[in-house]
């Protein structure tokens, strides 16, 4: 559970001149099952770092700190970087950039120095977490991938008449580009965002976190707007369009334990797909939570936290609390 939350802090991005916003959460575990660890958390595209606080608060095994950060073009990172990002500065491949930014955060803050480092990613953030471990093995001691954006289908071998994963992601990007971005106030935003689409069914705590931290006041005082503009959300989707199959193809390279968590009613992955992803890894576990959808950590954070807690309990005896990276 959470015992304290830092203010928004910043660390250097992998690209010079840009900054990455993060919050540090202090976690306290139940004494009988405590696992000393540090968590690094990557959000889904279109969201922000704070919406994972309800999930972190439900964890009962993790003892240490959790660092949740915004993509360079999302949330508070975008707010501090927007002068450069709006000029299309060094953001051509946001997906790969987010992985390099994760490395920068891990190294600058020395996240792996004192305790085992566990990566937790959701959606595109989960795909990025997996790619990070592929690109730089042993960055993490274990990974939790929540409904990752992966595919078992090689887009180069799609049969004529079938839908390519690339086409699907392009459609999602176009929908993101056309989404509404401003409202008169947060109450209007609540009614608009959380009554339809991907945001329906969220728990009250996650809704409040997004309204408080995923939106900002317009400079002229006429309303509120998303901290990740639709153009940047769409750009993020499009920049990652080639990665879902490539990450899937390279999952056998990962040697640390990986937990895949899926949702029975996910808009992106069937339960069979989650199992197929897991079977690519050497040390794997998978779980599919009933009745939930792609936004499962925000729909039922306790259910997701319970699965993570059981995973941490199982691996805590196999992870050296004093790692070779010290």
Q: Which two tokens stand for residue 300?
A: 């039922």
pLDDT at site 195 = 86
**pLDDT value at residue 161:** 62
- Tell me the C-alpha distance between 287 and 305, whole Å: 12
Mean pLDDT of the region 224-232: 96
Residue 320 has pLDDT above 70, yes or no: no
Express each pLDDT in 161-174 by its tens digit: 666 777 888 889 99
β-bridge pairing 117-122 and 35-42: parallel
d(CA 306, CA 144): 12
The model's pLDDT over 16-72, given as tens digits with 9 standing for 90+, comes to 899 999 999 999 998 788 999 999 999 999 999 999 999 999 999 999 999 999 999
- Model confidence band, residue 326 (pLDDT cutoffs 50, 70, 90): very low
The per-residue DSSP string of 40-68 comes to: EEEPPTT--GGGGHHHHHH-SSEEEEEEE
Chain-centroid distance of CA 315 in Å reads 22
Task: Please state the domain extents for the chain.
Answer: 2-156+240-315
Bridge partners, 222 (sequence order): none
pLDDT (0 to 100) of residue 324: 43
Query: Running DSSP on this structure, what letter comes out for residue 20?
Result: E
Query: How many Å apart are CA 291 and CA 204, to the nearest integer?
Result: 18
Give the three-state DSSP class for 31. Answer: helix
pLDDT single digits (tens) 106-131: 999 999 998 999 999 999 999 999 99
Residue 323 — very low, low, confident or very high, per pLDDT cuts 50/70/90?
Answer: very low
CB 41 within 8 A of CB 298: no
DSSP assigned state of 251: G
Mean pLDDT rounded to a whole number for the chain: 93
DSSP string, 62-108: EEEEEEEE--TTSHHHHHHHHHHHTTT-S-TTHHHHHHHHHHHHHHH
Percentage, residues of the chain above pLDDT 90: 82
The pLDDT score that the predictor gives to residue 90 is: 54
Query: What are the angstrom distances between the C-alpha of 51 and each of 251, 285, 296?
Result: 27, 25, 12
d(CA 296, CA 312): 19
What dotted CATH number matches 2-156+240-315? 3.40.50.1820
pLDDT in tens, 136-191: 999 999 999 999 999 998 888 877 666 677 788 888 999 999 999 999 999 999 99
pTM of this prediction exceeds 0.85:
yes
pLDDT tier at 91 (50, 70, 90 boundaries)?
Answer: low
Angle at 190 between CA 263 and CA 168, to 5 degrees: 45
Compare 319 and 272 and report the one with higher pLDDT: 272
DSSP string, 109-153: TTTTSSS-EEEEEETHHHHHHHHHHHHSTTS-SEEEEES----SS
């Amino acid at each position: 559970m959470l015992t304290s939350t830092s203010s928004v802090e910043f660390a250097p991005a992998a690209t010079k001149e840009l900054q990455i916003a993060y919050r540090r959460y202090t976690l306290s575990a139940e004494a009988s099952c405590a696992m000393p660890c540090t968590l690094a958390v990557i959000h889904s595209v279109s969201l922000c770092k704070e919406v994972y606080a309800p999930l972190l608060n439900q964890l009962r095994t993790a003892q240490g700190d959790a660092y949740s950060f915004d993509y360079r073009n999302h949330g508070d990172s975008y707010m501090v970087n927007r002068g450069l990002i709006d000029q299309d500065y060094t953001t051509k491949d946001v997906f790969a950039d987010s992985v390099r930014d994760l490395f920068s955060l891990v190294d600058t803050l020395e996240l792996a120095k004192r305790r085992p480092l566990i990566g937790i990613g959701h959606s595109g953030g989960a795909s990025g977490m997996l790619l990070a471990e592929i690109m730089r093995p042993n960055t993490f001691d274990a990974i939790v991938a929540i409904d990752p954006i992966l595919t078992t289908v090689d887009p180069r071998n799609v049969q004529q008449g079938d839908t390519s994963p690339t086409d699907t992601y392009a459609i999602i990007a176009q929908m993101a580009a056309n989404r509404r971005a401003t409202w008169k106030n947060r109450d209007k935003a609540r009614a608009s965002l959380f009554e339809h689409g991907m945001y329906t069914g969220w728990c009250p705590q996650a809704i409040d976190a997004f309204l408080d931290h995923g939106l900002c006041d317009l400079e002229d005082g006429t309303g509120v707007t998303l901290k990740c503009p639709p153009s940047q959300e769409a750009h993020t989707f499009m920049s990652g369009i080639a990665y879902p199959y490539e990450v899937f193809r390279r999952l056998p390279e990962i040697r640390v334990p990986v937990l895949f968590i899926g949702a029975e009613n996910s808009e992106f992955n069937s339960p069979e797909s989650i199992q197929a992803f897991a079977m690519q890894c050497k040390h794997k576990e998978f779980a599919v939570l009933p009745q939930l959808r792609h936004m499962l950590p925000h729909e039922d954070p306790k259910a997701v936290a319970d699965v993570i807690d059981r995973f941490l309990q199982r691996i805590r005896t196999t992870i050296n609390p004093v790692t070779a990276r010290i």
